[in-house]
A and B are shown apart, each in its own frame.
Chain A
Amino acid sequence: MELPDEPTADIALTLNGEAIRARVPLRQNLVDWLRHGAGLTGSHVGCEHGVCGACHVQVDGVVVRGCLMLAVQADGAAVETIEGATSSGRIRALQDAFFNRAALQCGFCTPGMLLQAAELLERNPDPSRAEIREALSGNYCRCTGYHAIVDAVQAAAASLRA
């Protein structure tokens, strides 16, 4: 939507593997643009001040808070959201483990949690429960109490090592 008097910038980026051009309000953060500009509503907005992790997306290969980066800063970057990570199959083992273990309830935190867990498993294929808990401590889940999430990440790690 063109907004009156709103300063904008044109950006070009790779979004979930696809080359995209867009005009974004300068003050719009990345997750708001992904959700409302690019129509990718799988990334969620939970706090807008960098605490909850619901907005996690991957930018140039690392997981970042989508509310703490401007959309204009994604110019030239490769951005991957839960939608892209799903269709590439990159996080399939984690997704299966989360599903089977009921490691989500309302599911609002889940996309961010999955991306963060995937980053952990890339770095550490056999994390302990404590290591999983620490790695996910920037992702709030208000429903599960985390135990099932830790189980699921362990199960996914085991299946990936097998």
Chain B
Amino acid sequence: MPDTALPPDGWIGRPMPRAATRRLIEGRGRYTDDNAAKGELHAAFLRSPFPHAAFGITGRDAARALPGVRAVLTAEDLAPFCRSWRTESRAFPGLVSPEQGPLARERAVYQGEPVALVLAASRAIAEDALELVEVEWDELPAVTDPAKALDAASPSTHQGLTSNLAWRTEFGGGDVEAAFASAALVVEERFTFTRHTGVPLESRSVLATYDPAAEALEVRMSHQIPHQMQVHLADLLDLPMGRVRVIAGDVGGGFGIKMHVYPDEVAICAASRLTGRPVRYVCDRIEALMADIHAREHVMQARMAVDAEGRILAFDADDIQGLGAYSIYPRSSTVEAMSVLRTVGAPYHFGAYRARLRCALQNKVPTGQYRSVGHPIGCATTERLMDLAAAARGEDPLEFRRRNFLPEAMMPWTNPAGGRMAELSHTATLAEFERLLDLPGLRAEIAAMRARGRCVGLGFSAVVEYTASGPGAYGPAHVPVAAMDTVVVTLEPTGDVVARASVAEIGQGIQQGIVQVVADAVGVPPSHVTIHTGDTASAPHGGGAWASRGAGVGGEAAWGAGRKLRAEILKTAAALLQSAPEALDLRGGQVVDANGTPRMALADLASTVFFRGHELPGGVQPQFTATHQFRREEDVFLTTNGLQASLVEVDPDTGIVTPLRHWVVGDCGRLLNPLLVEEQVRGGVVQGIGEALLEACRYDPGNGQFLTGTLADYLLPMADNACDITVGHVETPYSGSALGAKGAGEAGTCGAPAAVLNAVNDALASRGARVSELPITPTVILRALGTLEASE
């Protein structure tokens, strides 16, 4: 157990803006496409216009002849420079996911799959050349609907596959049949969750520079996990890891979209190697909507058994996941579905669970880990069943939840879904939630609105999230994912501290959190701490940004490194001051004695060590660079909990749903920086509202063509259809770490769709209507109300 002496008046827990955002506010950010390399070529991809087609590239001469075009490349051209890959996971034995390369060969299996690559003097010229590449397309039947994909009669997603079933499993615990047989109440619903995608405002972009003399590759890219890309690019391009440098500068949002190995990005690196020239590629928005990972296509049949006293007996969930044409590399798409099924029932006590999962291959872009991976589906499923049961019992939905929350006294507890529930604070969170909402007042307000004829509804959701994945998540699966983090802190001659961290900044503010941790750990003000992340040449290896892990994992590494440096500083100071390290402390950049009396400025100590080493006593060899690597040994995940409420208004004539207000109380353990945590929550909630009401990746059910290829079709929340969000906290520090921080960045997204779904159903209840499909479009509402026939 590391030293856990958090200073009483420290920087951890203070609301502070992220210092580096000053640059971004002044237009001085450096996102990938803000960089240029001398002699660079611009890339554009020819992508399959069909969801499923055999193809042959029959002519490249016209494209090559266009002035300014340097190369027109196909899979065969890149093959000598880059090997292919296949997604495998020991967690999912027998997972079906065919071999993939940087460009498709002979067959395209999703619309948007890259099939050829043009390098030219400008992007515009590269796009001109794409039109001149001659391709013979032979369109094949496309598999789109996940349930139909599993029919024996369905066409195959890939040549040579006899089934579109990528993987299936069944798991759980307890006697489900007995629970349902003995239940006083069974509620059941069939949910349809439509594909979404993340839409970071900066699209994926890469600038790859291969130096043939040094046999080294430098890649600037907009990515959440530069070290992961270093591992995979070294592997795929057969280079020593040390000769691959990946630099993720300012990253314009990620949300999970930028944590995968995409064929196009690998192709750019291979193309730079082939040409010996820098190659720049920016995925445009059309390409991004079509070929960035999608997520959350599920058809879920779920039921819940409740006894006569209103206690949950069991859940039974049967999920079909539409995972796309490949299981995403390297983590696999199946992870999302497992997360869905592990999240069902998570806030509650129940005795039996059965989960059935079938993952269907489709001729659609692969799905992958998008913010709050799978949780929103599991949460919406559970929370809707909770409301249905409460309604059937004629009971207040919060009272029904209160009775069923997993009692604190039972924790830690491994539930029948296999989820280990530890240190959750349902009771305190509910109390704070009720205080924040002022429920009696809110209910009166709602009654008054309804009396004026307004169709409003209030919905709740309880959230449990598995955050900050430890080595037990991907390690046993033999997927090379770093669940550990490394922080290196260095004392500079001026007394400033520089931290180099393996966490990645994608806007969530983790840099600021780490600065505050280092400041407290060492004993200097945050203004004296500079942090570097995102460049594999300077930042040590570690996990990057995923699974809300920065504070819970990276924070521990920062604390450990900072404490080591502090100890070394005090040891050196003691030698210089002829004192004992235990008699000294380091506060605010000053070495002080037990009374707090300054004895020596850290700047003086540092300059003595670096510039006047001759003044040091014999035998003193200060080590002013300290490293700490942290891996959590206990608890594969850190569970967090929370509650959300959504107030919506439904226009029953038009079916338009307007979110009016939203409330969140969350417990993410120790808050390193409540300001940034709250804004993570708010941003997450609005992504969840988008998921609930607006966002959908749609495909033509007939020919499989992608229909939502622009931002005029893929609807995002805007300022005037989002609402104000009230955020409260309960703080239960995780007992197994120095700082006690858990994950915070995804909880908003986890619970918001469920709360909105319940709110809409609350609004519709008086009209006898009910919805169970996301997004809840006007069409969904009008069909539920009987205004439109199902066929309309």
Contact = CB atoms under 8 A, between A and B. Distances in A.
Asked whether the complex places CB atoms of A and B closer than 8 A, the reply is yes
A4 B27 contact: no
A156 to B, nearest CB: 12
A3 B121 contact: yes
A104 B25 contact: yes
Contacts of A4: 67-68, 121, 125
A105 B508 contact: yes
Contact of B26 (A5, A82, A132): A82
A104 B24 contact: yes
A109 B202 CA distance: 9
A111 B710 CA distance: 22
A143 B200 CA distance: 8
Contacts of A45: 33, 282
B202 A5 contact: no
Interface stretch (A58-66, A68-76, A134-142): A134-142
Contact of B28 (A6, A42, A149): A42
B411 interface: no
A1 interface: yes
B722 interface: yes
A80 to B, nearest CB: 11
A147 interface: yes
Interface stretch (B45-53, B145-153, B682-690): B682-690
Contact of A102 (B18, B712, B718, B720): B18
B656 to A, nearest CB: 15
Given A3-B125, A5-B68, A105 B25 contact: no
Interface in A113-162: 114, 129-130, 132-134, 136-150
Contact of A107 (B250, B676, B684): B250
Q: Which of A42, A104, A105, A137 has the most CB of B within 10 A?
A: A105
B707 interface: no
B124 interface: yes
Contacts of B676: 102
Nearest to B25: A95
B284 interface: yes
Contacts of B507: 104-108, 143
B722 A51 contact: no
B546 to A, nearest CB: 15
A114 B252 CA distance: 16
Nearest to B690: A142
Contacts, number: 192
A144 to B, nearest CB: 5
B506 interface: yes
Contact of B251 (A49, A100, A106): A106
B529 to A, nearest CB: 18
Q: Which of A28, A82, A102, A149 has the most CB of B within 10 A?
A: A102
B662 to A, nearest CB: 9
A132 B719 CA distance: 8
A150 to B, nearest CB: 7
B22 interface: yes
B200 A106 contact: yes
Q: Which of B29, B675, B685, B719 has the most CB of A within 10 A?
A: B719
B608 interface: no
Interface residues of A, number: 62
Nearest to A5: B67
A25 B684 CA distance: 41
A92 B373 CA distance: 39
A36 B232 CA distance: 31
A40 B28 CA distance: 9
Q: Which of B680, B684, B711, B748 has the most CB of A within 10 A?
A: B711
Contacts of A40: 27
Contact of B202 (A44, A100, A102, A133): A44
Interface string A29-51: 00000011000111111111101
Interface in B649-679: 675-676, 679
A49 B717 CA distance: 17
Contacts of B711: 47, 49, 51-52, 140
Q: Which of B18, B21, B724, B725 has the most CB of A within 10 A?
A: B21
B682 A148 contact: yes
A99 B125 CA distance: 40
B31 interface: yes
A110 B24 contact: yes
Given A106-B507, A132-B719, A150-B719, A142 B255 contact: yes
B512 to A, nearest CB: 9
Contacts of A44: 31, 201-202, 252
Contacts of B284: 48
Contacts of A48: 284-285
B417 to A, nearest CB: 30
Interface in B695-753: 710-712, 716-722, 724-725, 748
B17 interface: yes
B25 A110 contact: yes
Contact of A52 (B27, B201, B508, B720): B201
Contacts of A49: 285, 710-712
Nearest to A114: B25
Contact of A1 (B29, B122, B679, B684): B122
A-B pairs with lowest CB-CB distance, top 10: A42-B27, A107-B24, A106-B507, A108-B252, A145-B686, A82-B27, A105-B507, A4-B67, A41-B34, A51-B711
Given A4-B121, A41-B27, A107-B24, 16 more contacts: A3-B68, A4-B68, A25-B124, A35-B34, A49-B712, A104-B21, A106-B202, A110-B25, A132-B719, A134-B719, A141-B201, A141-B719, A142-B683, A145-B683, A146-B717, A146-B718
15 contacts: A6-B68, A41-B29, A42-B28, A45-B282, A47-B710, A48-B285, A51-B711, A99-B25, A102-B17, A104-B24, A105-B508, A106-B200, A108-B29, A133-B722, A140-B716
